[in-house]
Structure 1
């Protein structure tokens, strides 16, 4: 493959995927910090509640649906769980957390954050067409990286003279991170 073809492939894939690269990068950064803040949604109201919970073994999906009706939640139940001594129920636009021992809890009503919630869906979407599109995107990112490495063929900054060292460092750094901290 000649240098002009490599540049053309690199440029055209880069232009085509520019928006998706930026979207994935931004939503990835937001997902990295979702334990500190939840960019996908914002709270519009909190409400304290007091309920009498049954034994932990009886905290089923059916129980969660019935309790939701009792406390006035009409959202669709997404999931329920017991975690760290609390009974949690997650709905489309509402979350409920109740202490198992005391029955004291809180209902949080929220709305999806425009644009940001849609960007974050890119990382979570599991529909077949999106999976295949993401696979093609991944292959194109590899192509962009490889064609970028091959574009400079003359001088002291070629892949052969300098680029391989930076590429190796770029591979070693995440491996060290995984070995030392994961």
Structure 2
């Protein structure tokens, strides 16, 4: 009788969460490679510019914000840097890159990638609702995993004979990466 209840719970939770599991896996893959390619946004326009820049010591946050406004950029500024002779300003939907010596540069405009941008928000969202929902999801995954351990009948491939060893290996594997790469 217990096996039937666990089997039903396992099945129903699995069906209920399959969409979220796939969404999380998809957005996780995108997040893992966001430094190599910017899956959340893509370039829509590159515009050449030429501006007169002050000395590097005079470039600060206020100057960067004001320059963005002069260039017609109205979205929020994230950061500015001066490195290796290049002045860079990063905005939410634009990047500005200017050569410090010549004043020549470009404005790169971005647009959010449909569906991919929204999927990546699954991993970034910090609203209370989403945190609690994610907690319920995590607990449900634990329940799915534990109920799955008793579904295989006794024998060569049962939890008792083989499954627990693979589960321990599944815990040890990421720990090795945490300690070796961390």
TM-score when scaled to structure 1?
0.87
SS in 2 for 1:121: helix
1:59 corresponds to which residue?
A: 60
Instruction: Assess if the C-alpha contact under 8 Å between 1:97 and 1:107 holds in 2.
Output: yes
Alignment of structure 1 residues 135-146 onto 2, 5 Å: 135-146=135-146
Gaps of 5+ in 1: none
2:66 is equivalent to residue 82 of structure 1: no
Once residues 24 and 166 of structure 1 are traced to their aligned partners in structure 2, the CA distance between those partners, rounded to angstroms, is 23
Give the 4+ runs in structure 1 shifted more than 4 A. 83-87, 99-104
Q: Which residue of 1 aligns with 2:27?
A: 27
Q: What's the secondary structure of 1:17's corresponding residue?
A: helix
Q: 1:175 to 1:68 in 2, by over 3 A?
A: same
| SS across alignment from 1:43 | strand
Aligned length: 180
| Shift of residue 104, structure 1, vs aligned partner | 4.3
Counterpart of 2:133?
133
C-alpha contact (below 8 Å) 2:65/2:77 kept by paired residues: no
Provide, for residues 131-159 of structure 1, a one-character-per-residue CA deviation record: whole Å limited to 9, x for no partner: 11111111111111111122224221111
